Amino acid sequence: MCEALRTAARAVVPVACPGCGLEDVRWCEACAAPWWDPPWRCEEEASRLVVAGESALPVWAIAALDGPAHGAVVAWKDGGRRDLDAGLAAAMTRAAREIAPALATLPAPIAVVPAPARPASTRRRGTDLPLLLARAATRGLAQAGVASRVTPVLAIRSGESRGASAAARWRESRAAVYAVGTIAPGAAVVLVDDVVTTGATLAACARALADRGSHAVAGLVLAAARRVADPARTGLR
């Protein structure tokens, strides 16, 4: 592309790497690289990931929510970067394929339940991000020979909590997540969400499912915050 066209294109649709800000690059190789690392167990990082007062839900994350990965998640969630959908979905598919052996002994099909997105968030973003990730995870499990089904049975009462303190968000999430459908009796549930910070949302999801007699056995997320003194500093739920 000649320089004039490039300049014109940038003026209309400026594009930059969400990780490092490099211009004219959708996602530079260095910033995309962490999304292809092996998934890691992150539940110990999430202070609220204790279900029914005992063992933490095992949760796998692909990336740590810092540095370029944090930039990509923020751009994807709140920056309108729908062009990152395919790459992050592919990362989720690959991660699900890699953790599939740990789920292979569960009764099939596994119910892959996306964390509920607030309707206002879905409208603003133009897509339901946890649902997109749940579909991607199901594809990965299938590639590994583990049968699963996307089962979007959780909802969240509307009312934005952006800007609220972490403690306020936690109290709200406990009350706000509820089940709108049922899961086949005895089915194992894998929860899928975009990020984990305190783990309050995943814990609320597990409780809402338990109220309906379903058992969350694992979680899978794009990114998890390393435990910090103030989880609110990530600016993400």
Residues that bind Zn ion (CB under 5 A): 17, 19-20, 22, 28, 31
DSSP letters spanning 18-49: TTT--BT-SS-HHHHGGGGSPPEE-GGG-TT-
d(CA 106, CA 104): 6
DSSP 46-66: -TT-BSTTSSBPPEEEEEESS
Q: Give whichever of 28 and 164 is closer to Zn ion, judged by the CB atom.
A: 28
Closest contact distance (angstroms) between CB of 23 and Zn ion is: 10
**Residue 18: CB minimum distance to Zn ion, A:** 7
CA–CA distance, 91 with 107 (Å, rounded to integer): 25
- To Zn ion, the closest distance from the beta carbon of 66 in angstroms equals 14
Task: Answer left, alpha or beta for residue 34, where phi above 0 means left and psi between -120 and 50 means alpha.
Answer: alpha
Strand pairing category for 40-41 and 59-64: antiparallel
Using the minimum distance from each CB to Zn ion, give the nearer residue, 22 or 142: 22
The Cα 33–Cα 68 span in angstroms is 10
By beta-carbon proximity to Zn ion, the closer residue of 62 and 166 is 62
Q: Rounded to the nearest whole angstrom, what is the least distance from the CB of residue 15 to Zn ion in the complex?
A: 12
Contact (Cβ atoms closer than 8 angstroms) between residue 147 and residue 219: no
> Hey, which bits of 74-209 come out as E strands?
110-114, 148-150, 154-156, 177-179, 188-196
Closest to Zn ion by CB, 30 or 228: 30
Least distance in angstroms from the C-beta of 76 to Zn ion = 14
Minimum Å gap between C-beta 149 and Zn ion is 36
Q: Which is nearer to Zn ion, 64 or 108 (CB)?
A: 64
Nearer to Zn ion, 64 or 131 (CB): 64
Residue 12 structure tokens: 């209309």
